[in-house]
Amino acid sequence: MKIALIGPPKSGKTTIFNALTSQNLETDKYSPPASDANIGIVQVTDERITRLSELYKPKKTIYANIEFHDFPGIFAQHSDEPESAIFTGIKSCEAFALVLRTFADDELDQLYGNKSPLQTLNAFEQEMILSDMVVAERRLEKIELGYKRGVKTPAVQIEERALRRILEHLQENKCIRDLALPPEEEKAVRGFQFFSSKPILILLNTSEEGYQSPDPALAEFSEKGYLAEQIAGKFEHELSLLDPDEAGMFMEDMGITSSAKDRVTMLCYRLLGLISFFTVGEDEVRAWTITQGTNAVNAAGKIHSDLARGFIRAECFGYEAIMEHGSEKHLKEKGLFRLEGKEYIVQDGDILSIRFNV
């Protein structure tokens, strides 16, 4: 899973990236924006994997991970082209974390203005809508040219219908993520990776003092249906560089129950509607990330395409059950070891073993 950290210049994207990845990349007030994204892979803390690993004592324990891509400020220049490398990079991410500055800084106010968080979000969404309109319009022009030359396949017609619907929606100043397209149309335009189709998580980068009280903007965002979280970026970055015991003491003082990394990764799961299932054994205990509502055969395909192709049954039991009864043998005796078919909807915390034949 790839999450793009985006936001206005100097809102603290790299500072938060540092906090999430325990790195120490330079952050400063005056340097021009970097030309490339910083990329970091973060292991998703999951107590359940830790405990399963204690039980099975496997050779390898593999947690889920999230890639964070820290992009230089975008939409700062109006020369930004829809096909630019940065845009392409951002669009390859599944979701956005929009970093907004709420810590006070007069100099940054003067250089970059001091819009409220909500105004900044609106400005970003506006730019996304405009950029998506350009992409949709250009593609529609090409399709029409094709029609004139006699290229009018059913597939292109589906795409055209989808793009017209999208364009109309964008012209009403609405994000594509709020538009429900019929599945075949959604599939026809998926490749465009429209900006405004991606879910957004709001991260308010707050001063250490400001962290003590919730920013009023948090309530505004949640009222509008956005997931939003307050992060004392600079402080959390310092914490991320300490050893866990030391960090724990400081966190207690600040009234922070879990690290920025753990809070943000959890929010990314919520934002994208993700859950985890596990595979266990002597060789490996491992977490797999799937979308809520995924069936057993598609979950098996996450592990390996052969497992989906030759799927027979999923042997399944719950994390809670194995923790309560201590071994698979006991689970079998209690009848808690199930066999599930292709259509079974995998639940968060399920432990699966796929029987297959290819």
Binding positions for Mg ion, rule: CB under 5 A: 13-14
Query: Considering CB distances under 5 to 8 angstroms, the limit depending on partner class, which of Mg ion, ligand GDP, none binds residue 11?
Result: ligand GDP
Q: What x/- string results for residues 188 through 207 when contact with ligand GDP is judged by CB under 6 A?
A: -----------------x-x
Token pair of 134 as six digits: 């350009």
Query: Considering CB distances under 5 to 8 angstroms, the limit depending on partner class, which of ligand GDP, Mg ion, none binds residue 117?
Result: none
Query: Considering CB distances under 5 to 8 angstroms, the limit depending on partner class, which of Mg ion, ligand GDP, none binds residue 53?
Result: none
- Which among 204, 227, 200 has a CA at the least distance from the CA of 215? 204
Q: In the chain, where does DSSP find H-type helix?
A: 13-21, 47-56, 85-91, 106-112, 117-148, 154-171, 183-189, 216-223, 233-240, 244-254, 260-272, 296-303, 305-309, 319-325, 328-333
- Which among 14, 7, 269 has a CA at the least distance from the CA of 128? 7
Phi first, then psi: what are they for 180, rounded to 5°? -95, 110
- 263 part of the interface to ligand GDP, by CB under 6 A: no
**C-alpha span between 267 and 199 (Å, rounded):** 11
- 15 part of the interface to ligand GDP, by CB under 6 A: yes
DSSP β-ladder status, 338-340 and 311-318: antiparallel
Segment lying near ligand GDP (by CB under 6 A), choices 25-33, 82-90, 222-230, 346-354: 25-33
- 40 part of the interface to ligand GDP, by CB under 6 A: no
- 27 part of the interface to ligand GDP, by CB under 6 A: yes
- Measured from the Cβ of residue 247, the count of other Cβ atoms closer than 10 Å reads 17
Segment lying near ligand GDP (by CB under 6 A), choices 2-10, 114-122, 307-315, 343-351: 2-10
Nearer to ligand GDP, 13 or 198 (CB): 13
The upper half-sphere exposure of residue 254, i.e. CA atoms within 13 Å in the direction of its Cβ, equals: 21
- 233 part of the interface to ligand GDP, by CB under 6 A: yes
**C-alpha span between 132 and 142 (Å, rounded):** 16
Q: What x/- string results for residues 100 through 129 when contact with ligand GDP is judged by CB under 6 A?
A: ---x--------------------------
Contact residues for ligand GDP, defined by CB under 6 A: 7, 9-15, 27-29, 73, 103, 205, 207, 232-234
